[in-house]
Structure 1
Amino acid sequence: MMTNSMMFKAEGQEIIAERIFNAPRELVFRAFTEAEHLKKWWGPRGWELTVCNIDFRPGGIWHYCMKCMDENQGDFYGFESWAKALFSEIVDGEKIVYTDYFSDAEGNTADNMPSSEITLTFIEQDGKTKVVNRAVYPSADAVKTVIEMGMQQGFTETWDRLAEYVESVQ
C-alpha cells in the first residue's frame, strides 16, 4: 500500500479506514490528542477547528466545532459542524476508543444523527505509522446516512491534511 493512499470501506454497521503516515507513532498519536495539533489538520480542506476543547483521559470529553472558511464551497461557506467525543479507553501511543456524537454548541448530542463507537489503533511500521479507524454504528442505515453526507471525501481530505501536517513538523 502506498503511504498516501487510504483504504476505506463500509460494511454492514462498520466503516473502516486505514492509512500509513510517514511519521513516528508518538507524533501521529499526539496529533490526534492535543488541541494545538488538531487545530492544524482536523476536518476537510477549507474547514477549520474554531473551537477545540479536549480533556484527553478515559471519561474525558472532546467538544469541537468545524467551520467552513472556504468561500468556494458555496452553501457550506460559514457553516458550523459541532461534534463531541466521549473517551472510554486510552492506551498511550497505541489506541484510543471513544463514542463520537454530532452535537450543538452547548455539547448536547443530536438525537437525529447517528453516533458511532470509534476505535483508533496506531501501529509502528519501520518509523512510519499505520492508523486504523474502525467506526461501529447502530445500524447499516446509519452507515448509509453518513456515507451519503460525504464521509469518505471528508475522511480522505482530513487524513491528507494530517499526512501533510505530521511530515511538516518532524
Structure 2
Amino acid sequence: MSNNAMLSRVEDERVLVLEREFDAPRELMYKMFKEPEHLKNWWGPKGWELPVCTVDFRPGGVWHYCMKCVDRNQGQFYGMESWGKGIYKEMNEPESIAYTDYFSDAEGNINEDMPSTEVTLEFVDVDGKTRLINRGEYVSAEALNSVMEMGMLQGITETWNRLEEYLKEAK
C-alpha cells in the first residue's frame, strides 16, 4: 500500500473500513488524533479550518469541534460551518481510540436527524510507519449510504491528505 492510497471496503452493509499507511511513527500518529493543537492543523477537507476544537481525552470525555469552509472557490459552501461531537469510549495508547461521532450544534447538542458513527481507530506499526485503520459502524445500511451521499469518502480522503502534509512538518 503506498502512502497516498486509501483502501476502503464495506462490511455487513453498514460498516465502512478505511485504511491508509502514513510515513510517521505510531506514537506521533496517535498524538495527531489526541491533541487539539495538532487536530486544528489538519482535521477537515481541503479548504476547511477548525476554528473551534476542544478535547477531553478520556473515556466519557468529549471532543467538540467546528469545521468552517474558508475557500471562496467552494461556492455555496464558503462560510458554512459544520459542527461535530465525539464522545470517547476507550483508548489504548498508542494502539487504538474508540468513540461515537455525532453531528452537533455549537452548544454540543446532538443532531438526532443525522446518523451517528461508532468509530474505532487502530494504529498499526509497520516498520516505523503507521497503518491507520478507521472502522465506522452505522445503525443501518441506509445510514451509511446517507453519509456516503454527503461526500464523506471524499472528505476523509482530503482530510487524510492534509494529515499526511502536516506530518511532514510535525516530525
Which deviations, in whole Å up to 9, do the C-alpha atoms of 1:127-167 show, x marking residues without a partner? Answer: 10000000000000000000000011001000000011112
What 5-or-longer segments of structure 1 have no aligned partner?
none
Runs of 4+ with >4 A deviation: none
Assess if the C-alpha contact under 8 Å between 1:120 and 1:134 holds in 2. Answer: yes
For residues 74 and 80 of structure 1, the distance between their equivalents in structure 2, rounded to whole angstroms, comes to 14
Shift of 1:169: 1.5
Which deviations, in whole Å up to 9, do the C-alpha atoms of 1:39-93 show, x marking residues without a partner? Answer: 0000000000010010001110000000000000000000000000000100011
Assess if the C-alpha contact under 8 Å between 1:57 and 1:90 holds in 2. Answer: yes
Aligned to 1:61: 62
For residues 83 and 168 of structure 1, the distance between their equivalents in structure 2, rounded to whole angstroms, comes to 26
Give yes or no for the alignment of 1:165 onto 2:169. no
For residues 59 and 15 of structure 1, the distance between their equivalents in structure 2, rounded to whole angstroms, comes to 24
Aligned length, in residue pairs = 170
Partner AA of 1:13 in structure 2: R
Aligned to 2:4: 4
Aligned to 1:46: 47
Which deviations, in whole Å up to 9, do the C-alpha atoms of 1:2-34 show, x marking residues without a partner? Answer: 111101223401111100000011111000110
Partner AA of 2:51 in structure 1: T
Aligned to 2:16: 15
What 5-or-longer segments of structure 2 have no aligned partner?
none
For residues 123 and 19 of structure 2, the distance between their equivalents in structure 1, rounded to whole angstroms, comes to 10
CA RMSD of aligned residues (A): 0.7
Name the TM-score, length of structure 1 as normaliser.
Answer: 0.98
For residues 9 and 108 of structure 1, the distance between their equivalents in structure 2, rounded to whole angstroms, comes to 31
Aligned to 1:96: 97
For residues 77 and 10 of structure 1, the distance between their equivalents in structure 2, rounded to whole angstroms, comes to 31
Aligned to 2:77: 76
Name the TM-score, length of structure 2 as normaliser.
Answer: 0.98
Assess if the C-alpha contact under 8 Å between 1:10 and 1:143 holds in 2. Answer: no
